[in-house]
Amino acid sequence: MAKMKGAIVVDTERCKGCSLCIVACPQKVIALANKVNLHGYPYVEAVNEEACVGCASCGIVCPDGCITVYRKKVEE
């Protein structure tokens, strides 16, 4: 049976930690990291990437276009 597996790459220097991606994600993949970038913004990271299905909700709602979303069909 095939299912979708996803992964995200966050441009941490572009991220402002607005957290709209966290709200949008249906799989609870993303959280605010306990770090800040060079601009002083806390950025987000995938803390539960196993659950990511590559729906791209995060990338679509991100106001700064920080998130590149990957998706691959995987045969189980």
Partner 1 sequence: MDRNQIVQPENIVCKKPTLMNDNNMHYCPGCSHGVVHKLVAEVIEEMGMADKAVGVSPVGCAVFAYNYIDIDWQEAAHGRAPALATGIKRCWPDRLVFTYQGDGDLACIGTCETIHALNRGENIVIIFVNNAIYGMTGGQMAPTTLIGQKTSTCPYGRDPEIHGYPLKMADIAAQLEGTCYVTRQSVESVGSILKAKKALRKAFEASMAGKGSSLVEFVSTCNSGWKLTPAKANEWMKENMFPFYPKGDLKDTTGEK
The residues that touch partner 1, with contacts defined as CB under 8 A, are: 5-7, 9, 11, 13-14, 16-20, 23-24, 39, 41, 49, 54, 56-57, 59-72, 74
Chain position carrying tokens 């991606």: 21
| CB of residue 35 to partner 1, shortest distance in Å | 16
Chain position carrying tokens 């941490």: 12
Looking at the Cβ atoms of 33 and 69, the one nearer to partner 1 is: 69
Looking at the Cβ atoms of 1 and 63, the one nearer to partner 1 is: 63
Measured distance CA(44)–CA(66) in Å, rounded: 10
Per the structure block, which two tokens stand in for 25? 């994600």
